[in-house]
Amino acid sequence: MRVIRKLLRRARIWAAPRRFERELDEELSFHLEMQTRWHETHGLDHRAARALAMREFGGETRFKEAVRDVRGVTWAHDVARDVRFAVRGYRRSVGYTVTALVTLALGIGITTATFSIIDAVLLRPLPYGDPDRIVTLSSQDSLGNVIRSVSAPNFYDWRDQSRSFAAMALYATRRRAVVADGDATYVEGATVSGDFFRVMGVGAMIGRTLEPSDADQNERSVVVSQGFWTRALGSAATLPGSPIEIDGERYRIVGVLPPRREYPAGIDLFIPYAFGSPWRTASRNNINFNAVARLAENVSLDQARAEMRAIATVLHRAHPEDLYGYGVPVASLHERVVGSATGYLELLAGAVGLVLLVVCANLANANLARGATRAREMALRTTLGAGRTRLIRQLVAESIVLSVAGGVAGIVLAWTLVRIVASTTAVELPRVHEMGLDGPGVAFALALSIGVGLVVGSFPALQIGRTSLYATLAAGGRTTANSSRAAARDVLIGVELALAIMLLVGAGLLIRSFGVVLSRQLGFVADGAVSAELSLPSVRYDDRRAVAFYAQLLPSLRALPGVAAVGMTNALPLGSSATGFIEIEGNGDTGAGAGYRVISDDYFTVMGIPVERGRVFGVADDAGTPRVTIVNRSMADRYWPGQDPIGKRFKAKSMEWKDPPWLTVIGVVGDVRHWGLEREPVVEHYVLYRQRPEFARDMAVIVRGATPPPQIMRLVRDRVRSIDPTIPAAMRTLSARVDESLAERRFIMTILAAFGALALVLAAVGVYGVLSFTVAQRTREIAVRLALGAERRRVLVMIVGHVLRVSLVAAVIGLLAARALSRTMTGLLFDVSPADPRTYAVVTIVLVGVALCAAYVPARRAAGVDPMLALRSD
Amino acid sequence: MPLPTDELLQGTLDLLILRTLTRGSMHGWAVSHRIQETSRDALRVNQGSLYPALHRLEDEGLVRSEWGVSELGRRARFYELTAAGRRQLARETATWERFAEAVQLVLRLA
């Protein structure tokens, strides 16, 4: 604060330098007059009094300079002069200036954008009250797997027995149908227990948040997100208390949350729910909820973990049937929210750091070359009495002026980049709504600019005073005999090339991985299929009605013109689905697990999944007939190796609420990479929705046909509406789902490839620039050689050969560094070794090739020098 | 023989100026005159260093200045203490007194 006030006081003076000087004069003359009068009253005549006063005062100039120093005016004056000098110099060399500005803007822009993204995602505290105290509680199975969801009875036992938490809450998310503007659409809703907002530490922006008592009220209350409030309701139009219809039931909006406070991400509706007494006696294997808690005061995360470990042990002894009660992992909310983004954001930070180093090396090199052409100017100024510190300061100031100008352009670039990343739907970054270029980002960019300016500017500054004045002046400023300067340029070029090859190796490994991922089989045909996700509200749809709804919808879709097949599943591929424990008949293994999916009769047809053995579900399979199931190839191989699985039986223990019946295997189908191209198919089985109607609320209907997707979507929506106008359908093509599942990998690959390409271009520009400069400086020497009979080819080979040597040394160093660093990328690679020789070879060829191309043009120019012309020109 | 304030410890001049300004706002000449007078001519402020000191104090926010009309009817820059200046004066005075006491002790007893 004091520093700022001081700066403001000084700024007032700097803003009006003339007035400051005038006032100094006035103060001085007033003092002299007073002192003169004083002496006059003591008997001196006016002239003597005046002279004495002046003598007592000392030098006028010394006084003024002392005051200027004190007020920072001298400093400001010097800086202003340096800046004027710098601008004048840059206006004389436009080419250099523009190249440097573009390089700076790119370097600072992408670095700042990366900083802003990492700051928003990883560094900044979550926007909740005391966010470090919020934790999530999870389940754990006998294999040690952490499962993020929990069961209600366990939650209540934890809450009653633990002392580590100030509050605990349970929630479950589900899409909800909301009627807005006469049209039904889906929004994400969370049913939350009473203490949810106490745990999160969030108050309402308008109205209030939910209280535990809200769940028991006759009138249903709901809290909405700010985004939903403005988007769907039009914020000005309605006030808290206004009604809203959710899943066909009337609710009253009691509050609106502040912006960006949606947790879990994307939730628009918060509906109170009494996870009351019926839930206490539910199955502990029904783990459909999420648990959050706020640590009590003075309780550390480790203490909470220890307590929950002890509670889990006791609970599991009392409930040995609990398949997910082998522990209660406690993690900070930040960990849960940020999750997997940490890995690739760290890679991004590393890559951007390398690009910034290339930028610095490039600028330093250009600056060195520029410094060499100005050697004469500097030498001249030294002889005329300019101090070495003065010249160094000016060079550094020049560099900072340029880098700050580039930095300002970089801020604009960063702002654009951050907005693109924040608005892109190609990749889902956590906390994307909190992203933006703000105060810290701008401060970072400016600090970075000044830092880069200092580093880059100090290179030529170090050269000052190194060379003999006489030699420089005598040689007319043309000499490059200075071998230390030439060596410095080679080193800088080598550094650029080495950094570029490191980035290229990283990009190459990711590109190879992407190729491997793309070449894998999904196990189903995505092209030409459209999915429509539907949710039937359980209030109006009991099991029988839900089955009847789909039994009416599916045939009516099949009858549409241009539709070839229609099917349905409770979990689309490349999304989440459930996995449970099973018990194979005649096998004591209780740890066996399998994923389960609830589907309709024609699901395999519409998805193009091959049926390998047995039969699929048919009209004869119904609620009343024996329970049947179809397993995938992996499941058949795993549990019945070498046998015919048809007719074998097993129980799905976690998907049935109580007393699971035997399921008889009637068919085997091909494996599907349901969890994404990068994952291996898992052991899975399918059951028929008519035999498990409890699961038939949230379903996805898949329609395949020759008709273009938009048209199919419209037809499907109309059919759904004609059966129940309050049920919206969320439509997408399956291909879009596949694309999205690759988005994260494609995003990081594209960015690293772009960084690699940028580094390569910068390095090429560096090689080209330095060689052009060297050739220009050595024209006379080359001309002499040619005049003395040297072959033109030899000149060409000499220059290109030099670059070849530098780039080969750089490539070796860069490859070794890349090999060491690529280990950290292992998690992002896929079926490609971090030491993949093909990638390293291709990258080396590309880099050396580009370096030679960049060298060839100036080398040709050198070989083309006319000996006579060069000798004459001066 | 008057002591030129140059030869005093750095900071002493600041202390003298701040103390003098507790009597109200005054211009630079008055400050120097006042110091000389109060010290019964024992301290003579070097006028070349008085003004830089006044400006430094203002730069640090310990005094503030305003243009006013002097007793001669001429425009003059008047300096006065700020709240921060008063606090600083209290601190410096205490330090100075402890220091002076300590020096006296050493001179008397060592």
| Most A-contacting residue of B59, B67, B82 (CB-CB within 10 A), to test interface | B59
Query: What span, in angstroms and rounded, lies between the C-alpha atoms of A208 and A788?
Result: 92
Cis peptide before A264 (omega within 30 of 0): yes
Query: What span, in angstroms and rounded, lies between the C-alpha atoms of A143 and B24?
Result: 83
Considering only alpha carbons, which residue of chain A is nearest residue B61?
A6
Predicted confidence (pLDDT) at residue A130 exceeds the cutoff of 50: yes
Q: What is residue B5's predicted lDDT score, i.e. its pLDDT?
A: 54
The residues, ordered by sequence, that sit 6+ positions from A761 with a Cβ below 8 Å of its Cβ are none
Q: What is residue A134's predicted lDDT score, i.e. its pLDDT?
A: 92
* Residue A725 · residue A321 · CB < 8 Å: no
B56 interaction partners in chain A (CB closer than 8 Å): 70
| Most A-contacting residue of B5, B47, B60, B65 (CB-CB within 10 A), to test interface | B47
Min mean pLDDT across A366-375, A537-546, A619-628 is at A366-375
Banded pLDDT at B87 (limits 50, 70, 90): very high
Distance from the Cα of B96 to chain A's closest Cα (Å) equals 24
What whole-number percentage of chain A has pLDDT above 70? 93
Banded pLDDT at A870 (limits 50, 70, 90): low
Residue closest to A135 by CA, chosen among A190, A197, A199: A199
| Cβ <8 Å between A30 and B77 | yes
Query: What span, in angstroms and rounded, lies between the C-alpha atoms of A759 and A503?
Result: 8
Task: Give me the residue label for tokens 């002496």.
Answer: A39
- pLDDT tens digits, A812-834: 999 999 898 888 888 888 888 88
Query: What span, in angstroms and rounded, lies between the C-alpha atoms of A232 and A178?
Result: 9
- 3-state DSSP helix/strand/coil % of chain A, to nearest 5: 55, 15, 30
Mean pLDDT value of segment A584-594: 75
Predicted confidence (pLDDT) at residue A475 exceeds the cutoff of 70: no
Helices (H), A327-482: 333-338, 341-373, 375-383, 388-423, 439-463, 469-474
| Most B-contacting residue of A67, A73, A75 (CB-CB within 10 A), to test interface | A67
| Cβ <8 Å between A9 and B75 | no
Distance from the Cα of B19 to chain A's closest Cα (Å) equals 20
Distance from the Cα of B58 to chain A's closest Cα (Å) equals 9
Name which of A27, A58, A66 is nearest B77 (Cβ-Cβ): A27
Predicted confidence (pLDDT) at residue A360 exceeds the cutoff of 50: yes
The residues, ordered by sequence, that sit 6+ positions from B52 with a Cβ below 8 Å of its Cβ are A63, A66, A67, A69, A70
Banded pLDDT at B6 (limits 50, 70, 90): low
Name which of B56, B75, B76 is nearest A70 (Cβ-Cβ): B56
Predicted confidence (pLDDT) at residue B95 exceeds the cutoff of 60: yes
Considering only alpha carbons, which residue of chain B is nearest residue A26?
B76
Task: Give me the residue label for tokens 């002097």.
Answer: B70
Instruction: Spell out the SS3 assignment of B63-110.
Output: EEEEEEECCCCCEEEEEEECHHHHHHHHHHHHHHHHHHHHHHHHHHHC
- pLDDT tens digits, B12-39: 888 889 999 998 899 988 998 888 888 8
Which is higher by pLDDT, A777 or A569? A569
Banded pLDDT at A629 (limits 50, 70, 90): very high
Mean pLDDT value of segment A577-589: 78
C-alpha distances out from residue B38 to A42, A429, B30, B32, B34, Å: 19, 73, 12, 10, 6
Query: What span, in angstroms and rounded, lies between the C-alpha atoms of A456 and A107?
Result: 13
How does the average pLDDT of chain B come out, rounded? Answer: 84
- pLDDT tens digits, A401-411: 888 999 999 99
Mean pLDDT value of segment A379-396: 76
Q: What is the CA radius of gyration of chain A?
A: 37
Q: Which two tokens stand for residue A577?
A: 């689905």
| Cβ <8 Å between B55 and A56 | no
Name which of B47, B51, B70 is nearest A56 (Cβ-Cβ): B47
Distance from the Cα of B60 to chain A's closest Cα (Å) equals 7
| A774-777 contact pairs (CB < 8 A, 24+) | A774/A480, A774/A486, A774/A489, A774/A858, A775/A799, A775/A858, A775/A859, A775/A861, A775/A862, A777/A372, A777/A478, A777/A479, A777/A480
Q: How far is CA A752 from the centre of its chain?
A: 13
Distance, first Cα to last Cα, chain B: 27
Query: What span, in angstroms and rounded, lies between the C-alpha atoms of B37 and A440?
Result: 55
Query: What span, in angstroms and rounded, lies between the C-alpha atoms of A763 and A360?
Result: 11
Predicted confidence (pLDDT) at residue A805 exceeds the cutoff of 80: yes
Query: What span, in angstroms and rounded, lies between the C-alpha atoms of A262 and A431?
Result: 10
Residue closest to A684 by CA, chosen among A698, A704, A669: A669
How does the average pLDDT of chain A come out, rounded? Answer: 84
Mean pLDDT value of segment A624-630: 92
Which is higher by pLDDT, B11 or A665? A665
- In a 13 Å sphere around the CA of A300, the CA atoms on its Cβ side amount to 3
| Cβ <8 Å between A27 and B28 | yes
Q: Which two tokens stand for residue A729?
A: 């359908």
* Residue A654 · residue A580 · CB < 8 Å: yes
User: Cα-flanking dihedrals φ and ψ of residue A365, to 5°?
Assistant: -65, -50
Q: Is A69 on the interface with B (CB under 8 A)?
A: yes
A28 interaction partners in chain B (CB closer than 8 Å): 51
| Cβ <8 Å between A9 and B46 | no
Q: Which two tokens stand for residue A260?
A: 């960006």
Considering only alpha carbons, which residue of chain A is nearest residue B77?
A27
User: For B5-109, which CATH class?
Assistant: mainly alpha
Handedness of CA A569, A571, A574, A579 (dihedral sign): negative
Predicted confidence (pLDDT) at residue A605 exceeds the cutoff of 90: yes
| Cβ <8 Å between A23 and B77 | yes
Considering only alpha carbons, which residue of chain B is nearest residue A37?
B72
Helices (H), A560-649: 603-607, 633-639
- pLDDT tens digits, A43-62: 888 898 988 888 888 777 88
Distance from the Cα of A41 to chain B's closest Cα (Å) equals 14
Residues written for chain A? 874
Min mean pLDDT across A118-122, A751-755, A762-766, B100-104 is at A118-122
Predicted confidence (pLDDT) at residue A704 exceeds the cutoff of 70: yes
Q: What is residue A597's predicted lDDT score, i.e. its pLDDT?
A: 92
| Highest mean pLDDT, choosing among A35-49, A59-73, A543-557, A735-749 | A543-557
Which is higher by pLDDT, A733 or A231? A733
A37 interaction partners in chain B (CB closer than 8 Å): 72
What whole-number percentage of chain A has pLDDT above 90? 23
| Most B-contacting residue of A30, A54, A64, A74 (CB-CB within 10 A), to test interface | A30
Banded pLDDT at A480 (limits 50, 70, 90): very low
Mean pLDDT value of segment A498-520: 91
Name which of B28, B33, B61 is nearest A5 (Cβ-Cβ): B61
Query: What span, in angstroms and rounded, lies between the C-alpha atoms of A603 and A529?
Result: 12
- pLDDT tens digits, A101-115: 898 999 999 999 888
Please report the DSSP string for A818-834 in residue order. HHHHHGGGGGG--S--T
Considering only alpha carbons, which residue of chain A is nearest residue B28?
A31
Predicted confidence (pLDDT) at residue B1 exceeds the cutoff of 60: no
Mean pLDDT value of segment A358-383: 79
Here the ipTM equals 0.90
User: Cα-flanking dihedrals φ and ψ of residue A471, to 5°?
Assistant: -60, -45
Banded pLDDT at A412 (limits 50, 70, 90): very high
Predicted confidence (pLDDT) at residue A606 exceeds the cutoff of 90: yes
| Cβ <8 Å between B77 and A33 | no
| Cβ <8 Å between B49 and A66 | yes
- Is residue A115 classed as helix, strand or coil in its secondary structure? helix
Predicted confidence (pLDDT) at residue A236 exceeds the cutoff of 80: no
